[in-house]
Amino acid sequence: MMKKEFQIPAQYEWRLFPFGDRAIPDIRYDPVFKAVFTKETAKSRGALSDLISALIGRTVVVEAITADEPPLDDSRQRYLRFDVACKTEKDELVNVEMSFNPKTSEQVRLEYHTARLFVGQDIHGKDKDFDDLKETYQIAILAKRTFFPDESFAHNFLYYDPDNRVPLGGKTRIITVELVKTGPVVDKPIEEMTNAERWTVFFQYLTDEEKRGKIIEIINQEEGIAMALETLGTFTQSELEYIRESGRIKAELDWQCDMTEARREARNEGRSEGRSEASLDIAQKMKNAGRPLSEIMEFTGLPIETITQL
């Protein structure tokens, strides 16, 4: 995407426009992420195109959002996926998602959804064959956990023969970004950052007041990021309330699943230490979701003193 300098008015030097004195929504929170990149506006579409281009390493233009969530009055179904499924001008399929609190099974889940994305293409008909399949990209931005042992924040996975060092050269790619590994990146001069690095710093430090100067530098240099920020600033009160409600429902369902998983792990381990750690983890998630203390005590068996200290 063509870059142009995006200047912030002087009066906003120390506070991010267009928010004024309002709190900045955390774009790492997946309902917010989805809302920013799926608005039917040129700036939202431009931001999405720039983000995808930065992560796959070549310029693409998003032509359409191909699959959206259920309508607003069906919010209980929205927890299933908070992703952005789209198609480029060359009909390539791209699925982008922000996982605020990804599970330990994230890698396997990514393989599953990549396969579904690829085989979902229609090549039936006498005039079509496998060469007509378009490239597909599954992009996962992982906000709160490290998944790979190296220090690199981004990984690009393709089918590959590790014994003979030969790639298959297929049409599916999985791209992961681990935001918690961006510590060394944020201190780099803006001019030395890649576009992908600028985006990851933006996601990770947007709400960090200590990094406010760095974020302002980035949005002055990166048009796509500036458009994402402008889109974030256009949310109406009703949209913010809907995002909060969607998040509440998702958090409720997440901790229910986490509770079941933790109990299963503790039961399998058969150790009091494992049960204790699992209960604390469940209690923290329930507390973050705003559940009553009495309910947390009932589900975890922890004393109220322990819960209130979390």
Domain range annotation of the chain: 10-235, 240-308
Sign of the alpha-carbon torsion through 163, 169, 173, 178? positive
What is the C-alpha separation between 173 and 304, in angstroms, rounded? 47
Report the C-alpha gap between 155 and 104 in whole angstroms.
Answer: 17
Residue 136, judged by CB atoms within 10 A of its CB (0-12, 13-18, 19+), counts as: buried
Per-residue CA distances from 309 to 119, 293, 305 (Å)? 49, 12, 6
Q: Which helix or strand (DSSP H or E) is residue 112 part of?
A: helix 106-119
**Runs of H (alpha helix) within 222-288:** 223-232, 237-269, 272-288
Scored b (16 or more CB within 10 A) or e, 243-265 reads beebbebbbbebbeebbebbbee
User: Which secondary structure element, helix H or strand E, spans residue 119, and what is its range?
Assistant: helix 106-119
Give the N- to C-terminal CA distance of the chain in Å, as an integer: 45
Nearest 5 degrees, angle CA 303-CA 309-CA 310? 100
- Residue 19 burial class via C-beta count within 10 angstroms: exposed 0-12, middle 13-18, buried 19 and up: middle
CA quadruple 115, 116, 117, 119: dihedral sign: positive
As beta bridge partners, residue 91 has none
Full-prediction pTM beyond 0.75?
Answer: no
3-state secondary structure of 140: strand
Question: Cα dist. 201→88, 150, 154 in Å?
Answer: 25, 19, 12
pLDDT tens-digit profile, the chain (310 residues)? 444 444 444 433 334 445 555 678 889 888 889 889 999 899 999 999 999 999 999 999 999 998 655 443 444 443 344 689 999 999 999 999 998 777 778 889 899 999 999 998 988 877 888 888 999 999 999 998 888 999 999 999 999 898 998 988 789 999 999 999 999 999 999 999 999 999 999 999 998 889 988 999 999 889 999 999 989 888 777 777 766 676 666 666 666 666 666 666 655 654 444 456 667 777 887 787 777 787 777 777 788 878 887 8
Q: Which two tokens stand for residue 14?
A: 């120390």
CA distance 8 to 4: 13
Please tell me the predicted confidence (pLDDT) of residue 265: 60
The owner of tokens 């982008």 is: 96
What pLDDT, on a 0 to 100 scale, did the predictor assign at position 77? 42
Residue 188's Cβ-count burial label (10 Å; 0-12, 13-18, 19+) is middle
Neighbours of 72 (CB within 10 A): 12
Instruction: Write out the two tokens for 198.
Output: 């600028």
Q: How far is CA 259 from CA 189, 263, 284, in A?
A: 43, 6, 11
Contact indicator for 305, 294 with CB cutoff of 8 Å: no
d(CA 202, CA 206): 5
Reduced to 3 states, what is the DSSP secondary structure of residue 156? Answer: strand
Q: pLDDT value at position 17?
A: 47
Distance CA 65, CA 47 (A): 13
Query: Quick one: pLDDT at residue 11?
Result: 37
- Return the bridge partners of 65, or none: 86
Predicted local confidence at residue 283, as pLDDT? 80
